Amino acid sequence: MDWGMRNRLAQLIQPDGHCFFLPIDHGYFQGPTRRLEKPGETVKPLLPYADALFVTRGVLRACIDPANTKPIILRVSGGTSMVGKDLAHEGVTTSIEDIIRLNAAAVGVSIFVGSDYEHETLMNLANLVNACENYGIPVMAVTAVGRELEKRDARYLGLACRIAAELGARVVKTYWCEDFEKVVEGCPVPVVMAGGPRCDTEREVFDFVYDGMQRGAIGINLGRNVWQNDHPVAMAQALRAIVHEGATADEAEALFHRLVAG
Ligand code: 5RP
């Protein structure tokens, strides 16, 4: 592996082998998502606890201070919306020149395995890998499920993650599910967990993050369950404790409540 690729991966994945990515890319298909109406303000207090920010080029340029030194994972697929016909009908939105110009540490692209646009989105991934590998830029594949949340089982997610790795993704982001070790074991590159819609309680989040880490995930890419919480900074700190400090779900919950109580 070339120095540039290794250096970018080392910016994202910390010396303990784990990572906490903070995604704020949701607006690219769902518009001004609740508590992400002003992304720059949402992330400011959270950035110290995150290892990288997952963001589109538009929000990066408009809302994030260029003096920021957290690595940027650029969301580079899109072209669909919540009110359109099919969320899976994505293309690659960002040129390799802009990816380099914005000093991205990595890029993220969605694949929709099993959808009408399976082939197109898998070729988006493959073509992006071809372009990015030339410059030592890692591609993170996002196994998207669109509105079909029932697809979140180990069989489907294991299939999607393996295909993403086979096409050249350096990291795969997928959902936590029961028997998560089956997803990880079938995927030859590191797997990161996304959060999905907000859970009813903080404890549910700590439980699945802890379980996924025990079963082989290297970290998280959690958005709504952090910044839609009433106490986003406490949430970020508690999750960081699981990911980087080996805290259990009990310990993370206790830390969360201590931080909230002040
Ligand atoms: C949205 C994404 C998000 O990065 C991903 O879903 C993680 O965010 P959340 O934890 O809110 O689900 O890819 O397209």
N-to-C CA span, the chain: 46
Can you tell me which residue has the tokens 């590191």? 190
Active site residues: 173
Q: From CA 80, how far away is CA 173, in angstroms rounded? A: 20
State residue 1's pLDDT score.
76
Q: Which domains does the chain have, with CATH numbers?
A: 3-202+218-224 (3.20.20.70)
Q: From CA 164, how far away is CA 128, in angstroms rounded? A: 12
Q: What is the pTM of this model?
A: 0.96
Tokens of 12: 């994202």
**What distance separates the 2 farthest-apart alpha carbons in the chain?**
51
Q: From CA 175, how far away is CA 101, in angstroms rounded? A: 31
The stretches of the chain forming alpha helices (DSSP H) are 3-12, 27-30, 39-43, 57-63, 96-101, 118-133, 154-166, 180-185, 202-214, 224-227, 232-245, 249-261
Find out whether the beta carbon of 209 lies less than 6 Å from any atom of ligand 1. no
Tokens of 116: 């009408």
88 touches 105 (CB < 8 A) = no
71 touches 54 (CB < 8 A) = no
Q: For 209-248, write each residue's pLDDT tens digit.
A: 999 999 999 999 999 999 999 999 999 999 999 999 999 9
Mark the ranges of the chain whose per-residue pLDDT is less than 50: none
CA 243 to chain CA mean position, Å = 14
Find out whether the beta carbon of 196 lies less than 6 Å from any atom of ligand 1. yes
Q: What is the mean pLDDT of the chain?
A: 96
Question: 73: CA distance to ligand 1 center in Å?
Answer: 13
The stretches of 75-201 forming alpha helices (DSSP H) are 96-101, 118-133, 154-166, 180-185
> Percent of the chain having pLDDT more than 70?
99
Closest ligand 1 atom to Cα of 26: 1
Q: For 181-211, write each residue's pLDDT tens digit.
A: 999 999 999 999 998 778 899 999 999 999 9
Nearest to 149 by CA among 173, 171, 175, 181: 175
Find out whether the beta carbon of 23 lies less than 6 Å from any atom of ligand 1. yes
Q: From CA 30, how far away is CA 234, in angstroms rounded? A: 26
State residue 64's pLDDT score.
97
Question: 226: CA distance to ligand 1 center in Å?
Answer: 11
23 touches 227 (CB < 8 A) = no
Find out whether the beta carbon of 223 lies less than 6 Å from any atom of ligand 1. yes
Nearest to 242 by CA among 193, 216, 207: 207
Among protein residues, the one with the nearest Cα to ligand 1's atom 12 is: 196
